[in-house]
């Protein structure tokens, strides 16, 4: 079943102890600000904040006046971090049936919700058994604990493996101007062929945090930001969203103004030559 997500998805990885360390009231304010600007989808993973950020988000969300059905909660499981409280000594992947079931129930409790709109397997494991995963996911769907199922960081061949047992509705992968290989290696082609929704983590590609970038790229930013009346982050997001696969950027900022910029970028139509101009400026050469 396809869920309607906002085109910009708010990534929560940096909301808690791994980043801004927002208080419950600040999280509530940020959720409400996102909602008022048209961002209704929130991306989580059980491991964020060393297993604490989902709980922080839930504590903030329970004070908001936004109906749960007006929002979409996404979360991931499968990475088991070394954690004394959980008794894990080594970072590893775990996709046994019971681990998946337990992970989702913990996420629901922490997020103060009765269901996830989307559950993603966080990263592929060489030991993942599609039959066990299918049993767990089917049970979660039948109980109403999750509405849909997807993947994160899976290749087309790994996705096909899962599709033998389950409907895969989304794949969250790294896509940006600086991580553009999914546009050429078949990853996005496969999503389009199979009606899988691509979601892009790190959609800015780390380009805004660099003190020095190629002069050709700096010039392209200057010209195109003026042409399309946007900022660098707005331009980078618009460049992604102009791909025909309908990429949904997962934007990890905690700044309301940057959320507004991201939403405004949804309306920017980049001319084809300008799209390739920005790509060439990053690569240092145009197409072969």
Q: Tens of pLDDT along 72-95?
A: 999 999 999 998 888 899 999 999
CATH of domain 9-174: 3.20.20.100
**Could you report the per-residue pLDDT of 100-132, keeping only the tens digit for each?**
999 999 999 999 999 999 999 999 999 999 999
Alpha helices in the chain, H assignment, sequence order = 24-36, 48-51, 53-61, 97-111, 130-142, 156-163, 187-194, 215-228, 232-241, 256-265, 272-283
Percent of the chain at pLDDT exceeding 70: 99
Q: 143-197, pLDDT tens digit by residue?
A: 999 999 999 999 999 999 999 999 999 999 999 999 999 999 999 999 999 999 9
Please say if the pLDDT value at position 1 is more than 70.
Answer: no
Give the per-residue pLDDT at 86: 85
The catalytic residue positions are 48
| Average model confidence (pLDDT) across the chain | 96
Encode pLDDT of 200-251 as tens digits: 999 999 999 877 889 999 999 999 999 999 999 999 999 999 999 999 999 9
């Amino acid at each position: 079943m396809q869920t309607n997500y906002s085109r910009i998805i708010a990534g929560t990885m940096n909301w808690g102890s791994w980043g801004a360390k927002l208080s419950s009231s600040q999280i509530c304010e940020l959720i409400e600000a996102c909602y008022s600007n048209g961002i209704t989808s929130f991306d989580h993973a059980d491991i964020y904040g060393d297993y604490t950020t989902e709980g922080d988000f839930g504590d903030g969300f329970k004070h908001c006046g936004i109906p749960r059905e007006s929002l979409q909660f996404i979360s991931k499981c499968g990475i088991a971090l070394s954690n004394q409280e959980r008794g894990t000594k080594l970072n590893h992947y775990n996709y046994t049936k019971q681990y998946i079931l337990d992970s989702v129930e913990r996420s629901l409790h922490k997020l103060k919700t009765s269901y996830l709109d989307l559950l993603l397997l966080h990263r592929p494991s060489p030991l993942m058994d599609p039959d066990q995963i299918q049993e767990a996911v089917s049970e979660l769907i039948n109980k109403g604990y999750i509405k849909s199922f997807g993947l994160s960081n899976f290749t087309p061949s790994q996705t096909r493996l899962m599709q033998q047992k389950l409907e895969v509705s989304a794949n969250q992968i790294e896509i940006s101007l600086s991580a553009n290989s999914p546009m050429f290696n078949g990853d996005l082609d496969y999503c389009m062929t199979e009606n899988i929704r691509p979601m892009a983590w790190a959609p800015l590609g780390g380009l805004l945090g660099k003190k020095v970038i190629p002069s050709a790229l700096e010039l392209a930013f200057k010209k195109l930001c003026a042409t399309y009346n946007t900022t660098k982050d707005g331009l980078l997001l618009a460049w992604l969203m102009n791909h025909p696969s309908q990429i949904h950027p997962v934007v990890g900022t905690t700044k309301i103004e940057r959320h507004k910029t991201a939403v405004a970028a949804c309306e920017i139509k980049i001319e084809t030559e300008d799209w390739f101009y920005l790509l060439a400026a990053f690569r240092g050469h145009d197409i072969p």
